[in-house]
A and B are shown apart, each in its own frame.
Chain A
Amino acid sequence: MGYTITEKILLKHTKAKDIYPGQFINAKVDICLANDITAPLAIEEFGKLGVKKVFDKKKIVLVPDHFTPAKDMKSANQCKIMANFARQYEIKNYFEVGRMGIEHALLPEMGLVLPGDLIIGADSHTCTYGALGAFSTGVGSTDFAICMITGECWLKVPESMKIEFFGRLNKWVGGKDLILHTIGDIGVDGARYMAMEFYGETIENLPMDDRFSMCNMAIEAGAKSGIIAPDKITMRYIKAIRKGLRPGIGKFYSSAHDAKYAYTKEYDARKIEPLVSCPNLPSNVKRVRELKEVYIDQVVIGSCTNGRISDLQLAAKVLRGKKVNSRVRMIVIPATQGIYLEAVKEGLSKLFVEAGGVFSTPTCGPCLGGHMGILAEGETAISTTNRNFIGRMGHPGSRVYLSNPAVAAASAIKGRIAHPDEVM
């Protein structure tokens, strides 16, 4: 029996001779990361062990992205703890405000993630890097603390599930809709503990940014990781990174033809329309056409799911020459400084501002109800982010709908959930 891509990567990172689902391993990591929420707790734990140095100054990444630029004194203090630690232990990959980005958009852009890597992060959306053919998974602060010392993390080898998409994508449908469709079908625990492997002709033709959106939300189906076997599109992406912070192009793995899967799913992409995930679970998925009565107060375009340049380009395409509805606040947040600059160069920032929107510095901000657009009681938002749990973007009595950037932009114009075809 052959191995899945996930098993191959895990095997390469342990001393074990063989690998099988359910096995416990201590895996060597290529990169470990944390942010301004999870790092301070890890630094406290790290302190308890009285260790003088970290396992590798280049393999630790610290990004202040959640409550930054610091929203208040307490969050400023959390950031200070992280910045001081980075200085004291000479962490090479600490990205200060003004040079940072939302971690899961920033790391690939900086060339810190390569195909075949094993990456752990004290952030649940660490699964994003599966888009590059890496095994990556979210862990807690204590895991991160231990990893900074040992360079290892304990893992239970996951079962894999295979999700195949075939057929051409419909207009206005992207990676976000494919993953919402999947979560809507299998549920928020449908892939619990598993590695979700996306594959098929639709995926082979899917641009990198869409692949990031898909693997990013694997966690919303309960998965340990999402992964797409690296191919020509991956190669082009890796080669285009000008200031890669790591040498080489990584290692391209793929699943054996006789690899074993817990289960497989097949979806016809031609049947998938733009989708929206309704409150209060990502699995509560409906077609945009069913939701035209839902009036909104706020639109958020950004996040580690959909804050990349092609997401902003798509939103701009819908908004060009139009105005944000007078009852609506639209907040556009490029995911990294690099994307911000690119948006300025392409005139997208001007377009968003002229349409009556906010163009913000990179931050996770509103996605988790942190800052930069908190909802009041009774308010409703449509957002390109990844979660719509109770109180996710503010008051427990507010509501969040999740969509792709084109639907969010069309909704900003109409003041209610709208299909891009209605405004184009």
Chain B
Amino acid sequence: MTYKGKARKFGDNINTDEIIPARYLITTDPRELAAHCMEDADKDFAKKVKPGDIIVGGRNFGCGSSREHAPLAIKASAISLVIAESFARIFFRNSINIGLPIVESAGAAKRIRNKDNLRIDMERGIIRNLTRKESYRFEKYPPFMRKIIRAGGLINSIKKRLKLKA
């Protein structure tokens, strides 16, 4: 699987209140959530974002609350992938569970600038920065998580498991 898109750069400790402020959590509709995605970090983000764009964050991306609405809002904004130096753990597991691809790469997070064109090769664990003509490596997921991702998220993966048992 490869992804191609323009980088949308953010700083360290981007928290779930910035990704989707609690005032919008009165719905579970992904489109409504997407309309306010990243609003408290960049108020025009929803207007600027293009399908396939890639969010690039710094350390501890997605810290704060457990709201799955955060990765959902990002996914519904047609963001193809999130790259960060590191992820907060609940955001990380929520993304895996709902099938939002995320990649941890300190090198990439430090070097990539806003609007750089990126191509990510998930199988080989390589991020190519087409604008700067650089490459960065990332660790692939452990097999346990790859199974969930391959199934398209936790719900599909459990569906398979329950059917097998029956």
Contact = CB atoms under 8 A, between A and B. Distances in A.
Interface of A: 24, 37-38, 40-41, 44-45, 48-49, 51, 66-67, 72, 74-75, 78, 121-124, 126, 138-143, 145-146, 149-150, 154, 188-189, 192-193, 222, 224, 281, 368-370, 387, 389-392, 396
B40 A192 contact: no
A142 B155 contact: yes
B63 A45 contact: no
B162 interface: yes
Given A41-B28, A49-B162, A145-B155, A392 B17 contact: yes
Contacts of A74: 26-27
A189 B85 CA distance: 12
B158 A389 contact: no
B93 A139 contact: yes
B158 A281 contact: no
A142 B18 contact: no
Given A24-B142, A41-B69, A142 B26 contact: no
Contact of A192 (B64, B86, B158): B86
Interface residues of B, number: 42
Given A49-B155, A142-B154, A390-B17, A123 B89 contact: no
B68 interface: yes
B13 to A, nearest CB: 6
A349 to B, nearest CB: 27
B119 interface: no
B94 interface: yes
B21 interface: yes
4 smallest A-B Cβ distances: which pairs? A140-B94, A74-B26, A189-B60, A140-B68
A387 B72 CA distance: 22
Contact of A124 (B28, B64, B144): B64
Interface in B1-54: 13, 15, 17-18, 21-23, 25-28, 40-41, 43
B133 interface: no
17 contacts: A24-B144, A41-B28, A44-B28, A49-B155, A49-B159, A72-B26, A139-B66, A140-B94, A142-B68, A154-B148, A189-B13, A193-B89, A222-B89, A369-B22, A389-B18, A389-B40, A390-B17
B90 A138 contact: yes
A78 B29 CA distance: 12
A140 B40 contact: no
Contact of A390 (B40, B86, B97): B40
B88 interface: yes
Interface in B123-166: 142, 144-145, 148, 153-155, 158-159, 162
